[in-house]
Amino acid sequence: MDLLTTLVDKGLRRELPTREEALAVLATSDDDLLDVVAAAGKVRRTWFGRRVKLNYLVNLKSGLCPEDCSYCSQRLGSTAGILKYSWLKPDEASKAAAAGLSGGAKRVCLVASGRGPTDRDVDRVAGTIKAIKDQNEGVEVCACLGLLSDGQAERLREAGADAYNHNLNTSEATYGDITTTHTYADRVDTVNKAHAAGLSACSGLIAGMGESDEDLVDVVFSLRELDPDSVPVNFLIPFEGTPLAKEWNLTPQRCLRILAMVRFVCPDVEVRIAGGREVHLRTMQPLALHLANSIFLGDYLTSEGQAGKADLDMIADAGFEVEGTDQVTLPEHRASAGGGCGSHESDGGCGSQGVCGSAPASTTTATSTTTAQEARTDLVAVRRRGTGTDLAPNA
């Protein structure tokens, strides 16, 4: 396909595809799916080899959130039967992190529900970061605490945080349809605060909320413009008790096309398969490793994931290797320059206007033959082990 040849060439040059090209990836047919995976896989291997970075989530504070994000089981008004608890103490959080690190995780992601941290909350997290780093040499720590106020990103950096996560989730045009208690601009502002403080920015999306192909392309192009070092791709877990419980819009094939599109738009960025991979990719998860170079190990915040041993077996069986703490995740040009996914590093990343891409290629888009899956509520398991319980985690 001329489209895929063009996209591979651009990916190897770190050039931005056109919107039409990105949309064409999402519109490819199931007959062409393996060709799409192979093309995006070439770009992935060029920048990340066959390494897979493992990340581990620790839910520092579960539930009780005042925000109304429709996709979230911890939201205001959620009746999902999730675990609810207040802040873990630093030693509790460090013990929880140790399970993932012993399973091969390189980064610990510290997450807390809520609109954003108070200064006291930042102090709590600072103590947790210190406890984890004191006991685990070389570990990366990413904080995900919601919207940041002025000065908080700097304090987290001083405390030893390496990265900050705050996802855009969906396009600016449709953001108000999923959340009303804060704005899309609030989220962009927090990602920019993380950048400015010298933290590695982590920002991604959630697919499967009823969005259009145009919405998906919009949010991924916006992410390219923000230029995070890592882009987590979540697939909606439709929890009973949330407004999006009936949204079963994804198939394994569509998930792979979405991951391929993200890889083409952000070729040299850490693309992470995040929540929902077991629910929607299912037996096609190994193919997704040809597109993404990072996954979460074990369970998620409020749902149970694939067993950690199964994750490690999957990586090995697919011919990949777990990235070690002595290996640098990002390509040299990003790691040394502090970021920049575009072809002009001094620009700090390319925007969504195609300024560093070549002229649009002439493409013929096929219509996907895949239809949305039936509800698989049997695959959605509320987390009942690990952090906040007396049971061991599955990592």
Domains, in order of start, for the chain: 2-332+364-379 (3.20.20.70)
**Active-site entry in 19, 44, 107, 109:** 109
**Active-site entry in 202, 255, 266, 350:** 202
Exposed e or buried b for every residue in 126-143, given b needs 16+ CB within 10 A? bbbbebbbeebeebbbbb
Clarify whether 356 is annotated catalytic. no
Percent of the chain residues topping a pLDDT of 90 = 74
Q: What are phi and psi of 230, to 5 degrees?
A: -135, 145
- pLDDT tens digit sequence for 257-299: 999 999 999 999 999 999 999 999 999 999 999 999 999 998 8
- pLDDT tens digit sequence for 338-386: 544 433 333 333 333 332 333 333 333 334 444 556 888 878 887 878 8
**Active-site entry in 14, 19, 65, 266:** 65
Q: Residues, the chain, total?
A: 395
Clarify whether 72 is annotated catalytic. yes
User: Quick one: average pLDDT of 80-97?
Assistant: 90
Clarify whether 341 is annotated catalytic. no
What contacts 325, CB < 8 A, 6 or more positions away?
A: 106, 137, 138, 139
Q: What are phi and psi of 55, to 5 degrees?
A: -125, 150
For residue 4, what pLDDT band results from cuts at 50, 70 and 90?
very high
Clarify whether 144 is annotated catalytic. no
> What local confidence, expressed as pLDDT, does residue 337 receive?
66
